[in-house]
Structures are given as structure tokens and as C-alpha cells.
Amino acid sequence: MPEDMPADFDFLVRYGYGEVTKNEIKTYQDTVVKDLIMNGTATADITLTEDEMRSIYERMRGIRIMGKLELVSLKQGCAVVPYQEDSWRITVNGFTRNWSWSGENCELTEDAEQLLELRTFIADIVAGKEEYQALPEAEGGYD
């Protein structure tokens, strides 16, 4: 990834539990989808600031997100229910990369842990936005 954030830098991250990845942060369209669990989803138009995008870009650059990532744990034989699942699409300098990982196995790889930390960082930025806070609260839970 170039040192300076390119003009076409955008990303999409979908996340949730099991195959129910209803949460989305999509800078391509400046939208966020919140999983309301029992009540479906809610969408808000949210644009991240230039500084927020730059901060996210720097974190992505730091974990070499456009390189080769090991996301599947070699340790099998243990399962978590419910488990988290993320999918990513990142565009930098005209190149788009797609990633996905699952927390179904009891142990995440280091790369998956870094993506989880990155997603948490981004979700925290979004959660602080007035438009996000205006969305309805989620009801229920995943078992």
C-alpha cells in the first residue's frame, strides 16, 4: 500500500454472528447497516471524515491488509457457537482485495485477530456518529 492514502481508498466490512453478517460499514456508498437482531436491520448514511479514513488506512497499511493473510486456524477440533464472521472488500489504487474469516474455531490466527481489532476500531468510530446513535436499539440476541 502506498504511504499516502490514494483518492480511491474505500472499504466494506460485513460482520455478525454465524452466517448472519447483517452489520455493514460501506465507505463505497457512505452507508452503515446495523443488525437489530429480532427487528431486522436499519441503515444510515454516514460519511467518515478524511482524518478518520486516513487513520483507518494507516492501520490497514500497518497490518499489510493488501498482502497475504493467514486467516484459517490450523488448530481444528474445537468449535464456538455462536461465532463471529467478517468479510472485507478493500480498494486501493485501483486494486480490490477480498477477505473473510470466521471465529468458529476456538483459536484465531494472528492475522484474523488483527482484522478483528481493525473492525472493532472502525465500528467504534461509527458508533460515535450522531447518525448511528439515532438508529433503533437491537433487541434479542444470538444463541
3-state secondary structure of 118: helix
Residue type for 28, please? Y
Given this model, what pLDDT does residue 21 score? 60
Q: Within 10 Å of residue 137's Cβ, how many Cβ atoms?
A: 9
74 assigned to some structural domain: yes
127 assigned to some structural domain: yes
Q: Over the range 88-104, which residues count as b (16 or more CB within 10 Å of their CB) and which as e?
A: bbbbbeeeeeebebbbb
Q: Distance between CA atoms of 82 and 113, rounded to whole angstroms?
A: 17
Question: What is the Rg, in whole angstroms, of the alpha carbon atoms belonging to the chain?
Answer: 15
136 or 84, which is more confident: 136
How many structural domains are present in the chain? 1
Asked whether the bond before 82 is cis by omega within 30 degrees of 0, the reply is yes
Please give the residue range of the domain that contains residue 27: 10-132
142 assigned to some structural domain: no
120 assigned to some structural domain: yes
Q: Distance between CA atoms of 98 and 105, rounded to whole angstroms?
A: 21
141 assigned to some structural domain: no
Given this model, what pLDDT does residue 63 score? 93
Over the stretch 101-115, which tens digit does the pLDDT of each residue have? 877 777 788 988 999
102 assigned to some structural domain: yes
1 assigned to some structural domain: no
At 51, which CATH number? 3.30.1560
pLDDT-based confidence at 142, cuts 50/70/90?
low
Q: For residue 117, is pLDDT > 90?
A: yes
- Stretch 11-15: mean pLDDT, rounded? 95
Q: For residue 143, is pLDDT > 60?
A: no
- What mean pLDDT, rounded, does the chain reach? 88
Q: Distance between CA atoms of 54 and 32, rounded to whole angstroms?
A: 19
**89, 96 Cβ separation under 8 angstroms:** yes
Q: Look up residue 130 and give its three cell numbers.
A: 450522531
143 assigned to some structural domain: no
Over the stretch 60-103, which tens digit does the pLDDT of each residue have? 999 999 988 888 776 676 777 777 788 999 999 999 999 988 77
